[in-house]
Amino acid sequence: MQTTRGKLHPLKTALEIRSCDKLVDFYITVVPVKQSNTVLKIVRQAIPNDGGLDIQHLRRFAKLADLPPEVRATIAAARHVSPTITNTDTGEEEEGVGERVLLVGSINASTKDTLTELLAPVLETLALVVIQVPFLTPTSQEQATRWTARFWPTVYKKSNLFGPHPSLANRAMESIAGEVENWLGLAEEVAADAHEEGRGERVGVVVVERIEGVGRVLAVAADARWLDWPRETNGNVSAHAAMRGVGIVAVGLKAKENLKSDTLSASSASLPASIFRDEPIGETERAYFQPSDKKGYLCHELEIYCTHEPCVMCAMAIVHSRFGKLVFRRKMQRTGGVCADGELGHGLFWRKELNWTMLGWQWCPDGEDKDGEGAVDVNLNA
């Protein structure tokens, strides 16, 4: 179809974006290796259950040498000038030999006075200082490495509480990577048709079913908001491309059901007038309309390829329809409902509180002309 190349970029979930920079203040203190168990015991009694915080991604003890320079500097300063130092020795000893730094606890979980009182009797030198540490578990190794260099030794657990599991997401990406350009090209084609014929905005989608690794188109749909509709409005909101894609798949399922059931076969005869544009319009849409052979539930685990990031309504429609994968080409910074890092920030493709999550990517073609011919008004609800 097209010869341009591009790349799939996994979308970030709302939680991933919000967890990125969330830091909390923690006490740390230097502890002689020999006393580390004793001190940890005291800390655990003073702050049971780490004050309710999950800090499993943070190392409990760290070598001085493994800490970021800023943290080392803070510790060094505290050891020499801090009033909490009870038995200061000369400070000439070599830094860090036979010592560890303990992550004590959140400043909200205990007070400096309380901790000093408990720890001073067992620690010859007590330098309790406050540093910032990442609040949430990292979602990638790169993030963990970055946090380790900036804040505190952080462990990546090869799981992602804030988004799809990394290995699952990677496998899914590999399964579609070779076809993305093709499907998006088809979506571009119907979008251009609809635009040229004046029945819709230049937005299109392609719905694909994947069986044993092989993708097959079930429906192709372009925006049809201006079809039989007054121009001085937002258009027929129910005829956005994604809504139509879902609708056309549903008509396919319904037709299958009617074929099998004698009792229902009459019902399709006289459809009442409606605003829905659930039938394929134009040559390309009709050519590619092919109901699934499976008896599916809604759009369960299907893939949707969109020329533009769907609006809030369409994004939620895609969730309700239980799509498994979503790819779009052009991000709609102001009106998009899919991404978590746009102006709205909803990130509807993956939100824990909703009962369905899917994998999402933006496809970015190589080269300068990112939006190509398909750029639309920035305020458009695609």
Partner 1 sequence: MTSPVVTWPEDAASMSEGERDVHVRFMREALVMAELALKTNEVPVGCVFVHDGKVIGRGMNATNASHNGTRHAEFIAISEILSSSTPKHHPSILQKCDLYVTIEPCIMCASLLRQFGVRKVWFGGGNERFGGTGGVLDIHLSNGRELGDKGEQRRIESDYEVSGGWLREEAIVFLRRFYVSGNEKAPEPKKEKKERVLKLDVEPVVKRAKVDG
For residue 148, the minimal CB distance to Zn ion (Å) is 42
Site string for partner 1, 315-354 (x = CB under 8 A): -xx--xxx------------x-x-----xxxx-x--x-xx
Tell me the site size for Zn ion, rule CB under 5 A.
3
Q: Pull the structure tokens for residue 23.
A: 């830091």
List binders of Zn ion among 157-176 (CB under 5 A): none
d(CA 26, CA 102): 10
Q: Which of 86, 28, 18 is nearest to 60 (CA)?
A: 28
For residue 320, the minimal CB distance to Zn ion (Å) is 8
d(CA 125, CA 211): 66
For residue 348, the minimal CB distance to partner 1 (Å) is 7
For residue 160, the minimal CB distance to partner 1 (Å) is 15
For residue 268, the minimal CB distance to partner 1 (Å) is 11
Q: Pull the structure tokens for residue 183.
A: 């499907």
Partner that binds at residue 115, options partner 1, Zn ion, none, CB closer than 5 to 8 Å by kind: none
d(CA 64, CA 349): 42
Burial profile 291-324: b = 16 or more Cβ within 10 angstroms, e = fewer: bbeeebeebeebbbbbbbbbbeebbbbbbebbbb
d(CA 335, CA 337): 7
Would you say 235 or 252 has its CB closer to Zn ion?
Answer: 235
Would you say 63 or 334 has its CB closer to partner 1?
Answer: 334
Would you say 273 or 378 has its CB closer to partner 1?
Answer: 273
Q: Which of 125, 65, 56, 51 is nearest to 89 (CA)?
A: 125
d(CA 329, CA 180): 10
List binders of partner 1 among 165-184 (CB under 8 A): none
List binders of Zn ion among 285-314 (CB under 5 A): 311, 314
Would you say 14 or 224 has its CB closer to Zn ion?
Answer: 224
> In 197-281, where do the E strands start and end?
204-211, 214-222
- Site membership for partner 1, residue 227 (CB under 8 A): no
Kindly indicate which of the ranges 98-106, 143-151, 202-210, 250-258 contains the residues binding partner 1, using the contact rule CB under 8 A. 250-258
Of 257, 341, 364, 365, the residue at the interface with partner 1 (CB under 8 A) is 257
d(CA 311, CA 317): 10
Q: What is the CA radius of gyration of the chain?
A: 29
- Site membership for partner 1, residue 355 (CB under 8 A): yes
- Site membership for partner 1, residue 274 (CB under 8 A): yes
- Site membership for partner 1, residue 311 (CB under 8 A): yes
- Site membership for partner 1, residue 208 (CB under 8 A): no
Kindly indicate which of the ranges 19-27, 64-72, 120-128, 245-253 contains the residues binding partner 1, using the contact rule CB under 8 A. 245-253
- Site membership for partner 1, residue 210 (CB under 8 A): no
- Site membership for partner 1, residue 243 (CB under 8 A): yes
Phi-psi region of 186 (alpha: psi -120 to 50; beta: other; left: phi over 0): alpha
CA distances 189 to 30, 146, 327, Å, are 65, 42, 16
Q: Which of 42, 112, 122 is nearest to 82 (CA)?
A: 112
For residue 121, the minimal CB distance to partner 1 (Å) is 43
> In the chain, where do the E strands start and end?
6-10, 23-32, 61-62, 99-106, 129-134, 204-211, 214-222, 303-308, 325-330, 359-365
What does the binding site for Zn ion look like in residue numbers (CB under 5 A)? 240, 311, 314
What does the binding site for partner 1 look like in residue numbers (CB under 8 A)? 229-230, 233-234, 236-238, 243, 246-247, 249-250, 253-254, 257, 272-276, 278, 297-300, 311-314, 316-317, 320-322, 335, 337, 343-346, 348, 351, 353-357, 381
